[in-house]
């Protein structure tokens, strides 16, 4: 990503093509009650105009996927990362037993175009008339945004900017410090470890799978790891999965990395053991790229 594009995205915003994301329709009289027992957020808050971000957790309280939810008159609409289409679909259907709830895969029926920052779609509302499309407010990149849902059969809407490439999207989400599946959000991670507590969790909604363990973390404040953002002191390329060491002990792992368009140095996300580092702590990186151990500096801790 060029420095000029990065600055433009921060000041003006941009657009993403999210049409490859997995999508489901959950219908039936028990749909809200059922899904409320499966995810970390309060599904009763879902509506037609804004998307609710939630995690699907397992019995141990760890993340099996994160989803965005909005409500239609007779159904709940869910979307999740493309790679989770099969596994998360199976997971969401597993507990539908005596419930009046039906989960349908509608991935191939809809396009999703996300615009963020000042690239708001209000001026193009006419594009939706007669297409069956809809606008849903969402925040996917740490900036105000909106999803344009369009039927596959409808033409691509007139976007206010050319959509970012996959490489540009990945670079920008890392620069914005947004965790994703599978890099940061996976069955090794509690939502709180990834800094998702405020955005995706309700502690007043009642029981759901994994709720007891996650409530205990809320009460004690203790968890194995915490997510952090880092920047490399030097320009050496790094590897995802490389170990991070402090005082000779491995205390963490790099999970995502990209080049900072302004400095040209690697930056990224990772996890470290809770309570062992502070802002500006410097850690050694152990990887197979360089014979000299690179150094990274912690720039953000997501639970402090």
Contacts of 153 (CB under 8 A, 6+ apart): none
User: Does some domain include residue 151?
Assistant: yes
240 in a domain, yes or no? yes
As a whole number, mean pLDDT of residues 2-30 equals 96
Report for 95-99, 122-126, 229-233, 287-291: range of highest mean pLDDT: 229-233
| Domain final residue pick, 116, 146, 175 | 175
Q: What pLDDT does 140 receive? A: 95
> Coil, strand, or helix at residue 43?
helix
Q: Are residues 59 and 119 in the same domain?
A: yes
Position 254 confidence tier, pLDDT thresholds 50, 70, 90: very high
Task: For residues 40 and 196, give the distance between their C-alpha atoms in angstroms, rounded to a whole number.
Answer: 10
- Least confident piece of the model among 62-66, 99-103, 235-239, 257-261: 235-239
**The pLDDT value given to residue 288:** 60
Q: Kindly list the distances between the CA atom of residue 182 and the CA atoms of 28, 78, 109, 188, 194, in Å, as whole numbers in the listed order.
A: 31, 18, 25, 10, 12
pLDDT at 145 over 80: yes
Mean of the per-residue pLDDT values of the chain? 92
- Claim to verify: residue 33 and residue 150 sit in the same structural domain: yes
The whole-number average pLDDT for the span 145-158 is 86
In a domain, 196, yes or no: no
What pLDDT, in 10s, does the model give residues 171-224? 999 999 999 999 999 999 999 999 999 999 999 998 999 999 999 999 999 999
Residues 6+ apart with CB under 8 A from 50: 70, 136, 137, 138
Domain check: are 102 and 250 in the same one?
A: no
Q: Are residues 41 and 110 in the same domain?
A: yes
d(CA 200, CA 39): 9
Q: Is residue 186 part of a domain?
A: no
Which stretch of 10-14, 66-70, 127-131, 246-250 has the lowest confidence by average pLDDT? 127-131
CATH number at residue 279: 2.40.30.110
196: its two tokens? 């998702």
| Nearest 10 degrees: Cα torsion 133, 135, 136, 141 | 110
Q: Do 88 and 234 lie in a common domain? A: no
**Residue 225 CB neighbour total at 10 angstroms:** 21
Residues 66, 176: Cα–Cα separation, whole Å: 18
CATH number at residue 74: 3.30.1360.120
Task: Evaluate whether residue 194 is within a structural domain.
Answer: no
* Inside any domain, residue 218: no
Higher pLDDT, 199 or 157: 199
**Structural domain containing residue 25:** 3-175
The DSSP code sequence of 234-280 is: S-----TT-EEEETTEEEEEEEEEEE-TTT-SEEEEEEEETTS--TT
Number of domains making up the chain: 2
Checking if the pLDDT of 22 tops 70, the result is yes
* Predicted confidence (pLDDT) per residue in 268-297, tens digit: 999 999 999 999 999 999 866 555 578 999
Q: Is the pLDDT of residue 131 over 90?
A: no
Question: By three-state DSSP, how is residue 163 classified?
Answer: coil
Q: Does the residue 189 lie in any domain?
A: no
Predicted confidence band at 120 (pLDDT cuts at 50, 70, 90)? low
Single out the residue in 155, 175, 195 at which a domain terminates. 175
């Amino acid at each position: 990503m060029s420095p000029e594009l990065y600055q433009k995205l921060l000041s003006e915003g941009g657009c993403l093509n999210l049409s490859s994301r997995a999508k489901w329709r959950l219908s039936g009289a028990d749909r809200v009650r059922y899904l409320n027992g499966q995810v970390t957020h309060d599904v009763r808050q879902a509506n037609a105009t804004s998307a609710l971000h939630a995690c699907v957790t397992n019995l141990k309280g760890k993340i099996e996927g994160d989803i965005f939810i909005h409500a239609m008159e007779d159904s709940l609409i869910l979307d999740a990362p493309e790679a989770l289409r099969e596994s998360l679909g199976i997971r969401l259907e597993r507990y539908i037993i005596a419930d009046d709830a039906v989960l349908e895969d509608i991935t191939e029926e809809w396009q999703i175009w996300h615009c963020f920052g000042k690239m708001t779609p209000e001026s193009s509302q006419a594009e939706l008339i007669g297409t069956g499309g809809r606008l849903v407010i969402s925040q996917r990149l740490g900036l105000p945004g909106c999803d344009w849902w369009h039927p596959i059969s409808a033409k691509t809407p007139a976007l206010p900017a050319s959509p970012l490439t996959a490489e540009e999207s990945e670079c920008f989400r890392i620069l914005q410090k947004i965790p994703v599946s599978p890099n940061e959000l996976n069955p090794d991670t509690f939502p709180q470890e990834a800094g998702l507590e405020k955005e995706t969790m309700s502690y007043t909604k009642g029981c759901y799978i994994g709720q007891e363990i996650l409530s205990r973390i809320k009460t004690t404040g203790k968890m194995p790891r915490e997510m952090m953002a880092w920047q490399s002191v030097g320009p050496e390329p790094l590897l995802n999965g490389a170990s991070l060491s402090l005082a000779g002990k491995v205390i963490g792992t790099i999970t995502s990395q990209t080049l900072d368009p302004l400095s040209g140095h690697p930056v990224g996300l990772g996890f470290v053991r809770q309570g062992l580092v502070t802002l500006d702590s410097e850690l050694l990186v152990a990887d197979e790229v360089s014979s000299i151990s690179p150094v990274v500096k912690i720039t953000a801790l997501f639970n402090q």
